[in-house]
Structures are given as structure tokens and as C-alpha cells.
């Protein structure tokens, strides 16, 4: 895999060149890596090991675009105004074997939302992840500090309450806490809560209850369990 490694080395060197981050050369590197990994399973596996190694506890404590790893640098391109951001997003999606949950895990929902919306895949973000999404992408150390389902549900309900205040008053202040970080936001009426339409793309809602109307009820435990 000497060619793949040489391509990654050249790409990283260009990513480190802050003065020319939007050059045609960076797009060429990303486009070449995308085509190579799409055409060759071996090349994709090699690049995935180099760019997306199994996550550790430290990865939970910081944003995907913070750090000096090749993954961090590519994620920063995904959120830049550069033309190459679309190539960077698609390249990461291919490395994640086009798994929505894996892409979000490695790049964050905010960084991947644009690609998922364009592909009509936003409706897949709440689907249960497969075993393969965890078996080669998480270390035991990472699993030990990852938020529990109860913590995620608690934070989600806080966000729903904040959205309700936004729709009623035009603005609100919300503080979100998790094991990974503590963040505070002041949102105004320029933000409109939305849900996912039948085409997999976001659409505005008129009431906060529309956000949960399609969520299935939990099935009661069977007598045999």
C-alpha cells in the first residue's frame, strides 16, 4: 500500500499548508483518495486504519475537529467554505463504509449533517447501529466513558423543552451537559426546529410535538424475559 500511504502523506502535507487549504491540489488529493478507496477494498481498509483508528476515551472529551490527527484535519475541511469540503465529506463516508452511525461517531452530527441531508439520509441517524459499527471502531476505554442511553435521552428531552421555549418566545438559553462536554447556547428565532420528511431531508415543524409524533412506543417486555 505504498501508493495509498504516499497519497495520504501528500494530502496531510497540503492540509497543514494553511495558506493554500482551498487549492485545487487538495481537491485532487481528496478526489484521488475517494476514487481509490471506492474502487479497492484493500485501499479503503488501509486508509481507514490510518485515518479512523478505533476511538479511545480522549476522543469523547473533544470535538472531532480538534486535534492534530489526519481525521481531525479532514473534519475541519468538511466544515470549511472550501470547494473540497464535499470531497472530504464523501471520502470520510466511504471510509465509514457508508454507515451513517459510524460517520457521525467519527465526524460528529454537525459536521456530517450536510452530506446526510444531500443524500436524503438524515432519517437514518436514529436507526440502531449494527454490531460491526462498534467492533472495530471502539476500544473498551471508549465504551467506558461513552454516554449511556439514559443520559442521551435526558439531554434530548432538555433540548425538546428548549425548542418549545424557542417556538413560544423567540429565544432561549439552554445548557447541555454530558460526560464529554458542557456547552451553553443562546438561540433566537432564526433557528427553526425541524424533523425529517419522507424524502430524508429536513422540514420545519409547527409544534414541538411533531418532533416525537413518529417515535414508536416501547414494546412491553415479554413474560418469558
pLDDT digits over 181-195, tens only?
444 554 454 556 677
The CA-atom distances, in angstroms, between 53 and each of 48, 49, 84 are 7, 5, 23
Model confidence at 89, in pLDDT bands (50, 70, 90)? Answer: very high
C-alpha–C-alpha distance, residues 199 and 122, integer Å: 9
Q: What average pLDDT does the segment 52-75 reach?
A: 88
pLDDT of residue 139: 62
pLDDT bin (cut points 50, 70, 90) of residue 74 is very high
CB 180 within 8 A of CB 142: no
* Cell numbers representing residue 193 in the block: 426546529
* Distinct helix (H) and strand (E) counts, the chain: 11, 4
Q: What is the DSSP letter of 81?
A: S
Least Cα distance to 193 among 175, 184, 206 occurs for 206
Give per-residue pLDDT as tens, 124-164.
Answer: 776 666 555 555 556 666 666 566 666 666 666 776 677 67
C-alpha grid cell, residue 104: 457521525
Distance of alpha carbon 89 from alpha carbon 117, whole angstroms: 12
Grid-cell match 487549492, residue found: 23
Percent pLDDT > 70 in the chain is 57
What share of the chain in percent tops pLDDT 90? 30
Q: What are the residues whose beta carbons fall under 8 Å from the beta carbon of 24, sequence distance 6 or more? A: none
- Phi first, then psi, for residue 172 (nearest 5°) are -160, 160
Q: Which residues contact 97 (CB under 8 A, 6 or more apart)?
A: 44
The CA distance from 36 to 222, in Å, is 49
Amino acid at each position: 500500500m505504498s501508493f495509498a500511504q504516499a497519497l495520504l502523506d501528500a494530502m496531510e502535507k497540503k492540509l497543514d499548508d494553511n495558506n493554500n487549504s482551498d487549492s485545487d491540489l487538495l481537491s485532487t488529493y481528496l478526489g484521488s483518495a475517494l476514487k481509490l478507496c471506492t474502487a479497492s477494498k484493500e485501499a479503503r481498509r488501509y486508509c481507514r486504519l490510518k485515518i479512523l483508528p478505533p476511538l479511545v476515551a480522549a476522543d469523547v472529551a473533544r470535538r472531532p475537529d480538534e486535534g492534530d490527527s489526519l481525521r481531525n484535519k479532514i473534519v475541519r475541511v468538511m466544515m470549511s467554505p472550501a470547494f473540497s469540503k464535499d470531497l472530504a465529506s464523501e471520502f470520510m463516508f466511504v471510509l465509514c463504509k457508508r454507515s451513517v452511525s459510524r460517520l457521525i461517531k467519527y465526524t460528529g452530527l454537525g459536521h456530517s449533517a450536510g452530506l446526510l441531508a444531500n443524500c436524503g439520509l438524515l432519517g437514518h441517524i436514529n436507526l440502531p447501529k449494527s454490531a460491526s459499527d462498534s467492533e472495530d471502531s471502539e476500544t473498551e476505554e471508549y465504551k467506558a466513558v461513552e454516554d449511556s442511553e439514559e443520559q442521551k435521552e435526558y439531554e434530548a428531552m432538555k433540548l425538546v423543552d428548549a425548542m418549545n421555549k424557542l417556538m413560544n418566545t423567540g429565544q432561549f438559553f439552554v445548557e447541555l451537559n454530558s460526560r464529554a462536554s458542557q456547552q451553553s447556547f443562546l438561540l433566537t428565532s432564526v433557528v427553526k426546529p425541524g424533523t425529517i420528511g419522507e424524502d430524508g431531508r429536513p422540514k420545519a415543524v409547527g409544534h414541538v410535538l411533531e418532533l416525537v409524533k413518529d417515535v414508536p412506543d416501547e414494546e412491553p417486555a415479554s413474560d418469558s424475559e
